[in-house]
Chain A
Amino acid sequence: MKSLGSIRRDFAPWNDPNAKPYIQFDNVTKKFGDFTAVNNLSLTIFEREFFALLGASGCGKSTLLRMLAGFEEPTAGRILLDGQDLRGIPPYRRPVNMMFQSYALFPHMTVENNIAFGLKQDGMPKPEIAARVAEMLKLVKLEQFAKRKPHQLSGGQRQRVALARSVAKRPKVLLLDEPLGALDKKLREETQFELMDLQQSLGLTFVVVTHDQEEAMTMADRIAIIDKGEVMQVATPAEVYEAPGSRFVAGFVGNVNMFEGRIARGEAGSASIDAGNGITIRTDNAGNAAAGTAVTFAIRPEKIKVSSAKPAGAVNAIEGEVYDIAYLGDMTVYHVRLDDGQVVRASTMNAARITEDPLSWNDRAWVSFRPDAGVVLTR
């Protein structure tokens, strides 16, 4: 598959069989009483990678982070950092630092002293501490707030202090627990790019936990999608989106239309899928699924075209009725009810201000897509 890689094209150690893993979760299980938070999970993260753990709340992603930081010990399995087994090493001796979801700024200390706290623990000489704190304050653009207490800062400023404090010690790995969760949307988008720049300029390995798929897609080199304590898929954002490995991943990341059906006829990757009610879907992405296999055909809304007339020469075109239209400014989302009752979601970029052939509620319409637009899922 071409052009489904990292955005930083020269950075893809996961494709290099000789690359040395930096963080390894090796068959890790974590139980809290009867509840299994992490179930026999294995993961590999490389040096200087921006790695995201994505999942719904309670899926075990935060437990993974806390095990890496040393606040929890695995019930079984082991965690290696740069070849060293972390078992039994307390949090205050691990070369990793964490940025907490609540920021956990020390309320009785000034911004300066918050940032200096970790450096003082290492017994760094005073002039060096002062220099490092100044450098960190500059990095997060908070120079004039050095003497303030946390409660004298806005939410965005607190987030920056927390970030400065956690990178001040130059940890081997920075762990970020929902780093942008408490910020409003606009600030969150700005901060995403700042975090990426910071990671690049410091050359650190970042592991971020988030439930926000957009955040993970924007920032991460690779995403691990976690569900019920297990890894569903580890891949680059583009792969996760365009080539999801399972129905769960396809449904979890972004919007998707799914058609249940059986492979009717298949040869070398391309196949026809009988999706019932006379709907046949032709696809080039069937992999090696044999004829008769029950499959799900998944296709993203933006890859479906909606038109009032049947497009000439379309391989896949299904008729239905416009059921709902949502105008979002930059794009318009159509919900088309096919004649068998299934509702298909299609979105169109509003590239021009005025469109010819405007569709309206209850109009007859055709949805069409190319044979390479969707994926066939067997899991």
Chain B
Amino acid sequence: MNTTWSRFNITSIVLGFAFLYLPIVLLIVFSFNESKLVTVWGGFSTKWYVSLFHNQGLMDATWVTARVGVISATVATVLGTLAALTLTRYTRFKGRMLFSGMVFAPLVMPEVITGLSLLLLFVAVGLDRGFLTVTLAHITFTMCFVAVVVQSRLISFDRSLEEAAMDLGAPPVKTFFQITLPVIMPAIISGWMLAFTLSLDDLVIASFTSGPGATTLPMKIYSQVRLGVTPEINAACTILIAVVAVGVIVASLANKRREVQRQRDERAAQRG
């Protein structure tokens, strides 16, 4: 392996990281700014974090976002898993192509269109826009992501596990809950987390489908920014980044540890 650092390598890595992370670093730095002016450094301070927690509007929006995220991710995971099961298990039913196309269409559908069509639907059926409609909209657009994640796991699933369970006397439903579900659970959890994250940072669809009293955090931030960026928003975003970063790091560390443990076990098993 080539371990020497050529000038070209160093340049490209610096440029790449700068391109990706400079804006985020700036945001974090200015969240600790004493001055009210966003672009002028006036000394270190954490006062914006304190005032953030006294901003009732932002706190309400955070609570709405969390509830929408948890409920929509959970329902989307159930529906997405069912869709994935149908697509991998019943490969010869009529209209399968149509169904799989329709499940995956929202992946590539522009959000504006999804949002607008959902708005039209809710208006047509006379549903008042608010918490319920945002949640329904988020279920709709995150479900297909869950279906993709779970389906890719199901494709590599060894069907003989289910056959073995049935052979040993477990009826199909029991087999599903005792064998299939536990084995594909990691994929279902990743699907849930993906759905939750998507719901968390969605602005476009929420703007179309939300109503008074159900403002999500991205909507709140966006509307405040339009009145002028305050360091308070920087602080809110920094906290969001911290939460996401901690989640990602914990997940990958756990994954890594499990992998190392598994390899050690396998080596031990090989030795006898």
Q: Is the CB of A97 within 8 A of B168?
A: yes
How many A residues touch the partner, as a band?
Answer: 20 to 34
Q: Is the CB of A100 within 8 A of B168?
A: no
**Residue of chain B at shortest CB distance from A102:** B160
Q: Is the CB of A104 within 8 A of B158?
A: yes
A91 with B167, Cβ < 8 A, contacts A100-B160, A104-B158, A108-B182 known: yes
CB contact list, B252-272 vs A, under 8 A: 262, 265-266, 268-270, 272
Q: Is the CB of B166 within 8 A of A90?
A: yes
A90→B162 CA distance, assembly (Å): 13
Q: Is the CB of A152 within 8 A of B169?
A: no
**Residue of chain A at shortest CB distance from B164:** A104
Q: List 7 A-B contacts (CB under 8 A).
A: A91-B163, A92-B169, A92-B170, A118-B169, A121-B169, A121-B174, A153-B269
Q: Which of A70, A100, A157, A169 contacts B164 (CB 8 A)?
A: A100
Interface centre among B158, B168, B169, B179, by most A CB within 10 Å? B168
Residues of B within 8 A of A121 (CB): 168-170, 174
CB contact list, A2-22 vs B, under 8 A: none
A92 with B269, Cβ < 8 A, contacts A106-B179, A108-B183 known: no
Q: Which of A97, A108, A154 contacts B167 (CB 8 A)?
A: A97
How many B residues touch the partner, as a band?
Answer: 20 to 34
CB contact list, A165-222 vs B, under 8 A: 165-166, 169
Residues of A within 8 A of B266 (CB): 151-152
Q: Is the CB of B269 within 8 A of A104?
A: no
Residues of A within 8 A of B160 (CB): 100-102, 104
A276→B265 CA distance, assembly (Å): 65
**Residue of chain A at shortest CB distance from B168:** A118
CB contact list, B127-165 vs A, under 8 A: 158, 160-161, 163-165
Q: Which of B163, B183, B262 contacts A151 (CB 8 A)?
A: B262
Whether A117 sits at the interface, judged by CB under 8 Å, is yes
Residues of A within 8 A of B166 (CB): 70, 90-92
**Residue of chain B at shortest CB distance from A115:** B168
Whether A327 sits at the interface, judged by CB under 8 Å, is no
Q: Is the CB of A106 within 8 A of B165?
A: yes
CB contact list, B216-254 vs A, under 8 A: none
Whether B171 sits at the interface, judged by CB under 8 Å, is yes
**Residue of chain A at shortest CB distance from B171:** A92
CB distance from B201 to the nearest CB of A (A): 33
Whether A98 sits at the interface, judged by CB under 8 Å, is yes
Interface centre among A70, A91, A102, A106, by most B CB within 10 Å? A91
CB contact list, A135-159 vs B, under 8 A: 149, 151-154, 157
Residues of A within 8 A of B262 (CB): 151
Whether A107 sits at the interface, judged by CB under 8 Å, is yes
CB distance from B181 to the nearest CB of A (A): 10
A102 with B272, Cβ < 8 A, contacts A121-B169, A121-B170 known: no
Known: A118-B168, A118-B169, A121-B174. 6 other contacts (CB 8 A): A71-B163, A92-B171, A106-B165, A107-B161, A152-B265, A152-B268
